[in-house]
Structure 1
Amino acid sequence: MDGMSNRPWLRHYPAEVPPTYDYPDQNLAEFLVQTAEKYPNHTALEFMGARISYRTLLDSVYRFANAMLGLGLRKGDRVAVMLPNCPQAVISYYGTLLAGGVVVMTNPLYMPRELEHQMNDAGARFIVVLDLLVARVKQATVNNPLEQIIVTSIADYLPFPKNFLYPMKAKKDGTPLPKLDYSEARMMRFSELIREAQSDPCRMPVESHTDLALIQYTGGTTGFAKGVMLTHRNLVANTVQSQLWNYRNKGSKEKYLAALPFFHVFGMTVLLNQGIRLGATLYLMPRFEINSVLKAIHKHKPTVFPGAPTMYIAIINHPDVGKYDLSSIEVCFSGAAALPLEVQERFEKITGGKLIEGYGLTETSPIVHGNNIWELRKSGSVGIPLPDTEACIVHPDSGEEMPIGEIGEVVVRGPQVMAGYWKRPDETAQTMKNGWLYTGDLGRMDSDGFFYILDRRKDLIIAGGYNIYPREVEEVLFEHPDVEEAIVAGINDRYRGETVKAYIVLRSGAQEDPLALKQWCKERLAAYKVPKIFEYRDSLPKTLVGKVLRRKLLEEELEKEQTPAKPEEATKE
C-alpha cells in the first residue's frame, strides 16, 4: 500500500490544479495579517448591517491577543470559544492563534454535561462565551472553574439602533438577556477587554508542523466526543488545498454566505480560513434560518455558499423559492453528510451555480476528496483526492489493498491529517498506522480514481446475512416526490438480526402512505434492502451543521424496546 504509484485520479485533475504544492510554513492566523496588509479597507465581515474592514478586524485581533497575554496566556494554553458566527468568534479565534494559544471551538448548543467533558478533557483555562450561555458554562465548571469567563453579546457588534433595541427584541423573542455580575473575579466583558488592550502587532512564532492550532471535538455521533489535534500546518494546508480546487475563485471579489458554523471544522476551513486568505467578504449568519438565508442571498448576492445537504434541501423545498433571486451563487461545497443527486440537480437548476459534494473528517481538517467543479464529476461520488492527498480502499480486517470496485475501508494520508487524538494514544494508534488514517468509512474506488462512500462501518446494516448500506436506500427514498428528508437505520430483529427502518419527513401537503413508499423501493432495490418499517416524523434529530444523528434514532429504538409494547401506529407494513 505504501507504493501507491497508481493514482488514477490525477488524469482527471483540471489543468489549473497542481497535484502537489509548497504550503506556507506559518501560523494559521498569518492569513489574516497578510490579507489586511493587501486589502486594509476591504470589508472582511458583514454582520446584521454592520461592516468591519480587514484593517479594523486585524486591530481587534491584535488587541485580543495582547489582552490574553496580559491575562497570563502562555504558548500552548487552551482557549475555548463558544459562539455562533459573529465578529467576536473570528476575533477570538485568530487572536488566540496569534498569541500562541490553542483554540477549542465549542458548540453553543452543548448542554452542561457535554461542556464539562470538553472543558475538563481539553484543560481549557479561558472561555469566550455569549451572555445567553454563561449560566450553562458556570454549571459545567462548578467542580473545575475556568480562570476567566469572557462574556460577549450579539449586541456588541450590531450597528445603531439595532444594538440599542437588541435587549428588547431578545425579551420579546422569549430569550431575555441574563443579568450578569461583572464584579465576580472570574467574569469580564469582551468589549472592555478589547477596548483597553494594546493594538501593537502580536505574532507568536510557531513550529507549524508540531504546534497545535486547534483541539476540535468530533461530533460525538459515535459516543463521547474525542479531541482531534490539528496543527497550524494541517489547517494551513487544507485551506490552501480546498482553495486550489476552486481555481476560478475571484479572490477578494468573492462574497461568502457564512451560515455554516465556524465551530464546525468544515465551516472553519472552507468559509473562515479560506475566505480570509482570499480577502473575500464574509456575510455572517449566527444560525441557519431558511427565510433569513433566502433574503440574504437575494439582497447581498453571495457568490460562494458552503453548506450541508439539509441547507440545500430547505432551499429547494421552500414554497416561495421562486420569489428570490439566487443567481449570484456560483460555487457551493456540500459536506458533513451525503448529498442526494436529486437535491444537487434541483439546486443547480434554481441557482445556475455549481453544487459539488466533497468528503472529509474532523481528523483531516476536514477535506480529503472533492468532485471537480467544472470538469468531470460523477453522481453519487465524493470525487477524487485533493492535491498532496492519497487514498485507497483496504480490507476492513486484513488491511490489504482491495481491487478496483471492491468495497472496503477508506484510508487516507496527506498534510491535512491530524497529529492524533488529544490524550488518547491508544485510540490514535488504532486510527493512524504508518502515516495512514483509517477513516472507519466503507467505500469503493472506480477505475478513474473516483471514490464512493457507502457508510460508516458502524452504520452498516446486516440483515439475514446481507450487507445493506443505508446511503443506497436513502438515495432511492429521496427520489420519491413526496419525501423531503429520509434516513435509514438497522434496528433489532429477532429473525434477521437487524431489519431496515426508514424515518421519513414529508414535503408539505404530502400524505403518509407507507405501502406506496414500500412499493417504490421494491421497484428500485433488491428485496432484502427494502425498508420493512416506515416511521413518519415532523423532523429528524440533527447536529447544528445539519448532519442527521442516526445514533439518536437508534437510542430511541432501544428505549422503545425496553418499554411495554403499545398497539403499532400506521408505520408497519
Structure 2
Amino acid sequence: MSYLDRPWLARYPENSPADIAVEYATALDVFDAAVSSDPDRPFLHYFDTTLTFAEIDRAANALASALVADGFAAGDRLAVYVQNNPAYVIGIVAAWKAGGIAVAINPMNRQRELSYMLIDSGATALLTLDDLYADVAEEVLGSGTTSVRTVFTSSPLDFQTRNDRRLFEGVERRRSEGTRDLVETIESYDGTVPPAPALAPGDVAVLTYTSGTTGEPKGAMNTHGNLAFNAQTYRDWTGLAPGEGVLGIAPLFHITGLVGHVMVAMLARSPLVLTHRFAPDVALDAIREWQPVFTVAAITAYNALSAAPGATPADFESLRVLYSGGAPIAPAMADRLETVFGAYIHNIYGLTETSSPSHGVPRGVRAPVDPTSGALSVGVPVFNTVVRVVGEDGEDVPVGEIGEFVTKGPQVVSGYWNKPDKTAESIPGGELRTGDVGFMDSDGWFYVVDRKKDMINASGYKVWPREVEDVLYSHPAVREAAVVGVPDEYRGETVKAYVSLRNGESVDADELVAYCKTQMAAYKYPRQVEFVVDLPKTVTGKILRRELRDLR
C-alpha cells in the first residue's frame, strides 16, 4: 500500500471530496468577502460588546492608514503582542490592509524573548497591551536594538464595559510616553481607507514563532494561501454553518487560535467569542451567554473547563462540535470528558508549520484506539494532503511500522523567516519533516507515538512517554500526567512520572507503579512517581516535559 494512494480517503464521510478548491486567494480576501456580503453580521463578542464585520473593517482601515502614514510599506512587519482581545483581530487585518505581515507574539514572553522576535522579524511597528509595554516592551525598545519606530497600545478594558472583576480586578488604563493609544488612533483616522494592497497567495501573512524547544525560535512563514486553505479545511471538515458561534479558547497568537478561531470565523461569517485570556469560570459564563457551537482547544483546557465551579452538562449543550489539538488525548480522558460535555471531542493534529491541521477525525466519527499501544488516533490527513511515514533513511516504512511523519499539502509553510538552512533541513522539496513519530494502520488512521526527542532509552529498550501517560490517565485518581526519562546507573535511563490528582482523590506512588506494572511491559512502567499540584504548561495548554526534565 502506497501513502501516495491516500488509503485514508475511505475514512472520509460519504460525498466528501478528496480535494477542495480554495475559494479565496488570500486571508484578506476571506475577510473582505465577509464584510462585503454580511457587514452587519456579528464578528466578535467580547464580554458585553458585539462588534460587526463592518466595525472591525472600519477599525482596521483606520489603523492601517495610521501605519501607512508612519511609513509602513508593503512587506513591513507589525508585531502583535496582545491577548485574546479585539485588538488582535484589528491588528492582523490592519497589517494585511497595509500590505504587510503580522508577527504573532506570545503575551507570556518577557524581555529576552520579545527582543529576539522583534529583532529577528525586523518589525517596524508594535501593537501591544499597555501593561505589556510598561512592564516588558519599553525596556526592550529602549535598548535601541530593534527596528520598531511606531508603538500602539491597547487596554484589555477597551471594546467592552463589563470589566469582569475575575480578570480585570485592579486593571487600569496605562499611558506611556512615546506610544499611541489604539482607540484614539482609530478615532483619529476613522473613515480613512489605505491604498489597496497587492497581495498574492504566496505572500507571507503571519510569522508564527515555533517554541524553540530544540534551539532558538524560528519564524514560520504562514502564507495567505496557507491560511485561506486551512480556514476552509476547518469549515468544511467540521461542517460549521454560517452564523454558528466559535468559542475562542486557544490563544490567538498560536496557529490554532489564528486559523481555528479567527480565520474560520471570518470564512463562515460566524461570531467569535473572546474573553481576553482563558479562565475556566469566565469561559463558562461566555458559553452560557453567547451559546457558541464550535471550538478547538488543547485537552487540558477542556479538562479545566469541565472542572469549573458550577459547571453542568446543560451549560455545554450549545457546544456540539468539539475538536482538540496541541496535545495528545488519552482515551480514558476522552471518554470521561464526553460524559461532561455531552459531545464527542474529535482529535485534530497539526503543527505551526502546517498552519494548524494536517490530520483530523471526521465530524461524527469516533477515532479508533490502537490495541497495541493504547494510543487514540489523531485522525486521517485532511483534504489535498499526503502524509508519509518514513524511517531513518527517509524511505517509506510499511503500514503499521513506526517512523517520522512527513507532510505535503497546501497548508505547509514556505519556510522559516531568514533561515534558509533550517528551511532546507526541515522542509526539503516542500515536504515537512515533522519530528513526530507514529504510524498508519491498514485502514489509513494515523497515530502519534511521541516526539523523537522525548523517547526514553531504558536498558536499550525504547519507551515512548505517551504510552505510559495514557495508562496513568486511565487511573480514576489521576487528573494529569507527564512522563520523562531520568538518569539511572543500571538502566542508563529510567521512567519517571509526574502526576497531579483529581480533587478529592488520593493514591500513593507505589499504588500507581503497581497499576502501571499490570498493564505494560516490565521495561515501560514508571520506576519513580512524583506528585505535583499542577504540571507546567505552555500558554496553549501543552504539558512541558522539558521543564520536568530540568527538575531531575
Judge same fold: TM > 0.5, yes or no.
Answer: yes
Which residues of 2 match residues 424-463 of structure 1 at below 5 A?
424-463=419-458
Work out whether residues 27 and 97 of structure 1, in 8 Å CA contact, stay in contact via their aligned partners in 2: no
Moved more, 526-535 or 370-379: 370-379
Corresponding residue to 2:155 among 153, 156, 159 = 153
Work out whether residues 259 and 286 of structure 1, in 8 Å CA contact, stay in contact via their aligned partners in 2: no
Equivalents in 1 of 2:3, 2:503: separation in Å? 49
Corresponding residue to 1:510 among 505, 509, 515 = 505
| Residue 384 of structure 1: aligned partner | 380
Work out whether residues 99 and 199 of structure 2, in 8 Å CA contact, stay in contact via their aligned partners in 1: no
Corresponding residue to 2:365 among 360, 375, 400 = 375
Which residues of 2 match residues 302-321 of structure 1 at below 5 A?
302-318=292-308, 320-321=310-311
Which residues of 2 match residues 124-139 of structure 1 at below 5 A?
124-135=123-134, 136-139=136-139
Give per-residue Cα distances to partners, 1:404-438, cap 9 Å, x unaligned.
00000110100110111111111111111222111
* Change in CA separation of 1:462 and 1:169 when aligned onto 2, cut-off 3 Å: closer
Instruction: Give the deviation of 1:223 after TM superposition.
Output: 3.4
The SS at the match of 2:322 is strand
* Change in CA separation of 1:528 and 1:297 when aligned onto 2, cut-off 3 Å: same
The SS at the match of 1:118 is helix
| Residue 235 of structure 1: aligned partner | 227
Work out whether residues 385 and 408 of structure 2, in 8 Å CA contact, stay in contact via their aligned partners in 1: yes
Work out whether residues 312 and 343 of structure 1, in 8 Å CA contact, stay in contact via their aligned partners in 2: no
Equivalents in 2 of 1:204, 1:492: separation in Å? 59
* Change in CA separation of 1:197 and 1:553 when aligned onto 2, cut-off 3 Å: same
Q: Are 2:220 and 1:221 equivalent residues in the alignment?
A: no
Which residues of 2 match residues 253-402 of structure 1 at below 5 A?
254-318=244-308, 320-322=310-312, 325-375=315-365, 377-379=367-369, 380-395=376-391, 397-402=392-397
Work out whether residues 61 and 92 of structure 1, in 8 Å CA contact, stay in contact via their aligned partners in 2: yes
| Residue 99 of structure 2: aligned partner | 100
Q: Are 2:145 and 1:144 equivalent residues in the alignment?
A: yes
Work out whether residues 134 and 151 of structure 1, in 8 Å CA contact, stay in contact via their aligned partners in 2: yes
Aligned amino acid, residue 312 of structure 2:
G
Instruction: Give the deviation of 1:286 after TM superposition.
Output: 1.1
Work out whether residues 68 and 194 of structure 2, in 8 Å CA contact, stay in contact via their aligned partners in 1: no
Instruction: Give the deviation of 1:181 after TM superposition.
Output: 3.6
| Residue 191 of structure 2: aligned partner | 199
Root-mean-square deviation (CA, aligned residues, Å) is 2.0
Instruction: Give the deviation of 1:26 after TM superposition.
Output: 2.5
Equivalents in 2 of 1:389, 1:486: separation in Å? 32
Work out whether residues 17 and 244 of structure 1, in 8 Å CA contact, stay in contact via their aligned partners in 2: no
Instruction: Give the deviation of 1:203 after TM superposition.
Output: 6.4
Equivalents in 1 of 2:479, 2:49: separation in Å? 35
* Change in CA separation of 1:444 and 1:36 when aligned onto 2, cut-off 3 Å: same
Taking structure 2 as the reference length, the TM-score comes to 0.94
Alignment: residue pair count: 543
Equivalents in 2 of 1:501, 1:245: separation in Å? 38
Give per-residue Cα distances to partners, 1:282-302, cap 9 Å, x unaligned.
111111111112222233221
| Residue 551 of structure 1: aligned partner | 546
Which residues of 2 match residues 23-38 of structure 1 at below 5 A?
23-24=22-23, 26-38=25-37
Taking structure 1 as the reference length, the TM-score comes to 0.91
| Residue 251 of structure 1: aligned partner | 242
Moved more, 17-26 or 482-491: 17-26
The SS at the match of 2:157 is helix
The SS at the match of 1:421 is coil
Aligned amino acid, residue 417 of structure 2:
W
Work out whether residues 78 and 124 of structure 2, in 8 Å CA contact, stay in contact via their aligned partners in 1: yes
Work out whether residues 66 and 198 of structure 1, in 8 Å CA contact, stay in contact via their aligned partners in 2: no
Instruction: Give the deviation of 1:68 after TM superposition.
Output: 1.2
Aligned amino acid, residue 140 of structure 1:
V
Instruction: Give the deviation of 1:440 after TM superposition.
Output: 0.7
Equivalents in 2 of 1:526, 1:169: separation in Å? 47
Q: Are 2:403 and 1:408 equivalent residues in the alignment?
A: yes
Equivalents in 1 of 2:167, 2:8: separation in Å? 53
Equivalents in 1 of 2:308, 2:172: separation in Å? 30
The SS at the match of 1:382 is coil
Equivalents in 2 of 1:181, 1:433: separation in Å? 46
Work out whether residues 27 and 227 of structure 2, in 8 Å CA contact, stay in contact via their aligned partners in 1: yes
Unaligned runs of 5+ in 1: 558-573
Q: Are 2:492 and 1:497 equivalent residues in the alignment?
A: yes
